[in-house]
C-alpha cells in the first residue's frame, strides 16, 4: 500500500504526487510497466546570455542549477535506484538529457544493472539560436532507453513501428518541433517536452492499460500522452504550480472533442508514410486487385486526386466501396505514379470514361490489412473523395 496521499487523482488514471521525487518514490509500492524521466539537466548557470537579441539570464529554475559533477552523479544514481525498485522485471526506462547530464545517467543505469537499448536523438526541427559564440547550434536532445533486466524480454512494438515507417525499421533519430501553441494553451513550463515525442516513445514500448511513471512530471506531458493513448499515469513533481498546469491539461482532455483534437495533432508526424484512399465499385475493385493497378482521374473535381506535397511519402493504397469493405495494399514503388491515357488503361481491360488521362499507382495485390467498415472516410455529406491520408489513421496504436 502506498503511504502517501496523492495531490490529484482522476479515477486512478492520472495520479499526481507533490514532493521531492526521492522521498515520494520511497512511499510508492505499485509496480509500473514503463518510466519516462525528464530530470534536471543541470545547465542553469545564471550567466548572462541573449535570446532572439534580448538579454537573458540562463536559468530554468532552482532545480536545474549547475552542480559539481560528483553531486550530479550521486543525484542521478539515487533517483534511478528508487525508480528501479518500482519497475516491473520486464519494464523499460527512458531518460532525457544533453551532454550536461546524459553521460552521468548512462553510467548510473549501467552500474545499477540496466541494459541500454538505444540512445534516441530528438532532432529539433526549430532549434532556437545558440546564444554564445564558439559553439555549433544546439539542435538535439538525447533519450536513453534501457530495460531493467538483461535477460527478461521487454515490450517492443517492432512490427507496428516498422509499418508506420513504410516497412523500414524505425530509426533512432526522430525529428519533431518544440511544443507548439496548441499544446501550451493551459500554462507555461520552461522545459516542456512535445506531445509528439511522448506519443512516439509510448508507441515504441507500451500497450493499452500499461502504467507509466514520470518522477519529474513538470506540466505532465507524459500523463497527457499516456491517457490519450489509454495508458495510466503516475506523476511526481516538486513544484505545485507545474502540477496545477498538468491538472489543467488533464481537465482539458476530459472533453472528448478536445481529446480527439489533441490526439490527432499529437499523432501527426512530419515524416509519416501516407496512403492513397480511393473509392471503387466492387467490380472495378476486383479488376484492380487482379492487375495490381489503382487509377483515378487527375484534377481537383470530386472523385479525382489533386497531387499535393506528401505524395513522395505515399506507400499504400486503400480501396473501399462507399466507405465500406476497406482493404490496404502496399505500393510497388514508394511515392511513384504514372500518367496513363484512357487508351492504355483500356489495353489492360479497364473501361474508364471520365477523362482522357489518369494517375496510375502500381500495388502489390496481397492485402496487407482488411479494415472492414471501421474507418471513417466520408468527407462532407455524401462524397468519398480520393485523398492522401496518414497511415496511422488506419493502423491502430494499441
Ligand atoms: C525537465 S522538467 C520536466 C518537464 C516535463 N517533461 C514536461 O514536459 O513538462 C523537470 C521537472 O522536474 C521537477 N523537479 C526537479 N527536481 C525535482 C525533484 N528532486 N523531485 C521532483 N521533481 C523535481 C521540476 O520542477 C521540473 O518540473
Per-residue pLDDT of 202-235, as tens digits, reads 999 999 999 999 999 999 999 999 999 999 999 9
Which helix (DSSP H) or strand (DSSP E) does residue 344 occupy? helix 342-347
Model-level pTM greater than 0.85? no
Q: Is 223 in the pocket of ligand 1 (CB under 6 A)?
A: no
pLDDT of 29: 96
Residue 295 pairs with which residues in a beta bridge? 360
Q: Are 270 and 264 in contact (CB under 8 A)?
A: no
Q: Is 40 in the pocket of ligand 1 (CB under 6 A)?
A: yes
What single string gives the DSSP state of each residue in 274-304?
A: EEEEEE--HHHHHHHHHHTEEEEEESSSTTE
Distance between CA atoms of residues 315 and 57, nearest Å = 48
Q: Is 189 in the pocket of ligand 1 (CB under 6 A)?
A: yes
Residues contacting 224, CB < 8 A, separation 6+? 195, 198, 246, 249, 250, 253, 262
Exposure string of 50-69, with b = 16+ CB inside 10 Å and e = fewer, is eeeeeeeebeeeebbebeee
Residue 291's pLDDT band (boundaries 50, 70, 90)?
very high
Higher-confidence position of 167 and 319: 319
Ligand 1 centroid–CA 214 distance in Å is 9
Distance between CA atoms of residues 386 and 225, nearest Å = 31
Ligand 1 centroid–CA 15 distance in Å is 16
Residue 95's pLDDT band (boundaries 50, 70, 90)?
very high
Distance between CA atoms of residues 228 and 263, nearest Å = 6
Least confident stretch, 51-55, 147-151, 351-355: 51-55
Share of the chain above pLDDT 70, in %: 94
Which contacts of 230-234 are long-range, i.e. CB under 8 A and separated by 24 or more positions?
230/398, 231/202, 231/206, 232/12, 232/13, 232/14, 232/15, 233/13, 233/14, 233/15, 234/15, 234/16, 234/17, 234/28, 234/30, 234/32
Task: Tell me how many helices (H) and strands (E) the chain has.
Answer: 10, 20
Mean pLDDT in residue range 354-363: 90
Distance between CA atoms of residues 134 and 132, nearest Å = 7
pLDDT of 191: 95
Residue 279 has pLDDT above 70, yes or no: yes
pLDDT of 397: 44
Rg (CA), the chain: 25
pLDDT of 332: 94
Q: Which atom of ligand 1 is nearest to the CA of 219?
A: 9
Cell numbers representing residue 321 in the block: 466501396
Ligand 1 centroid–CA 40 distance in Å is 7
Q: Is 78 in the pocket of ligand 1 (CB under 6 A)?
A: no
Residue 344 has pLDDT above 60, yes or no: yes
Residue 311 has pLDDT above 50, yes or no: yes
pLDDT per position as a tens digit, 33-92: 999 999 999 988 777 776 666 777 777 888 888 889 999 999 999 999 999 999 999 999
Residue 300 has pLDDT above 90, yes or no: no
Q: Which phi and psi angles does 345 have, rounded to 5°?
A: -60, -35
Q: Is 34 in the pocket of ligand 1 (CB under 6 A)?
A: no
pLDDT of 139: 96
User: Closest Cα to residue 188, out of 41, 37, 57, 60?
Assistant: 60
Ligand 1 centroid–CA 217 distance in Å is 6
**What's the chain's average pLDDT?**
90
Residue 104 has pLDDT above 70, yes or no: yes
Sheet holding 338-341, edge to edge: 304-305, 293-298, 357-362, 338-341
Mean pLDDT in residue range 266-292: 90
E strands, the chain, where? 8-10, 14-18, 32-37, 48-51, 54-57, 87-97, 115-124, 140-147, 173-176, 211-214, 232-237, 274-279, 293-298, 304-305, 314-321, 324-330, 338-341, 357-362, 369-372, 387-390
pLDDT of 306: 67
Higher-confidence position of 167 and 188: 188
Ligand 1 centroid–CA 226 distance in Å is 17
Q: Is 94 in the pocket of ligand 1 (CB under 6 A)?
A: no
pLDDT of 398: 36
Ligand 1 centroid–CA 239 distance in Å is 8
Amino acid at each position: 500500500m502506498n503511504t502517501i496521499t496523492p495531490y490529484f487523482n482522476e479515477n486512478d488514471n492520472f495520479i499526481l504526487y507533490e514532493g521531492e521525487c526521492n522521498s515520494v518514490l520511497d512511499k510508492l509500492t505499485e509496480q509500473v510497466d514503463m518510466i519516462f524521466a525528464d530530470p534536471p539537466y543541470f545547465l542553469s548557470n545564471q550567466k548572462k546570455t541573449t535570446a532572439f537579441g534580448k538579454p537573458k539570464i540562463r536559468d530554468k529554475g532552482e532545480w536545474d542549477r549547475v552542480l559539481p559533477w560528483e553531486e550530479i552523479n550521486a543525484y542521478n544514481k539515487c533517483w534511478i535506484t528508487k525508480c528501479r525498485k518500482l519497475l516491473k522485471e520486464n519494464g523499460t526506462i527512458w531518460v532525457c538529457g544533453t551532454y550536461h547530464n546524459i553521460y552521468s545517467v548512462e553510467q548510473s543505469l549501467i552500474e545499477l544493472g540496466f541494459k541500454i537499448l538505444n540512445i534516441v536523438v530528438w532532432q529539433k526541427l526549430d532549434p532556437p539560436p545558440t546564444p554564445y559564440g564558439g559553439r555549433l547550434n544546439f539542435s538535439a536532445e538525447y533519450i536513453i532507453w534501457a530495460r531493467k533486466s538483461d535477460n527478461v524480454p521487454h515490450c517492443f512494438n517492432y512490427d507496428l513501428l516498422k509499418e508506420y515507417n513504410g516497412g523500414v525499421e524505425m530509426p533512432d533519430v526522430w525529428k519533431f518541433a518544440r511544443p507548439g501553441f496548441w499544446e501550451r494553451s493551459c500554462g507555461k513550463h520552461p522545459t516542456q517536452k512535445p506531445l509528439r515525442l511522448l506519443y512516439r516513445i509510448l508507441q515504441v514500448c507500451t500497450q493499452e492499460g500499461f502504467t507509466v511513471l514520470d518522477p519529474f512530471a513538470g506540466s505532465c506531458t507524459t500523463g497527457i500522452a499516456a491517457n490519450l493513448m489509454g495508458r495510466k499515469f503516475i506523476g511526481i513533481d516538486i513544484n505545485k504550480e507545474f502540477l496545477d498546469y498538468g491538472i489543467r491539461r488533464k481537465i482539458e482532455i476530459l472533453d472528448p472533442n478536445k481529446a480527439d483534437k489533441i490526439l490527432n495533432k499529437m499523432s501527426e508526424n512530419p515524416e509519416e508514410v501516407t496512403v492513397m484512399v480511393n473509392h471503387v465499385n466492387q467490380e472495378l475493385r476486383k479488376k484492380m486487385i487482379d492487375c495490381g493497378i489503382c487509377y483515378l482521374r487527375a484534377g481537383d473535381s470530386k472523385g479525382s486526386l489533386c497531387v499535393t506535397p506528401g505524395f513522395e511519402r505515399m506507400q499504400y493504397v486503400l480501396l473501399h466501396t462507399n466507405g465500406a469493405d476497406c482493404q490496404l495494399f502496399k505500393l510497388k514503388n514508394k511515392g511513384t505514379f504514372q500518367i496513363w491515357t484512357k487508351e492504355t488503361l483500356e489495353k489492360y481491360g479497364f473501361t474508364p470514361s471520365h477523362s482522357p488521362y489518369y494517375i496510375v499507382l502500381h500495388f502489390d495485390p496481397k492485402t496487407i490489412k482488411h479494415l472492414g467498415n471501421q474507418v471513417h472516410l466520408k468527407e462532407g455529406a455524401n462524397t468519398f473523395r480520393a485523398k492522401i491520408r496518414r497511415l496511422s489513421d488506419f493502423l491502430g496504436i494499441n
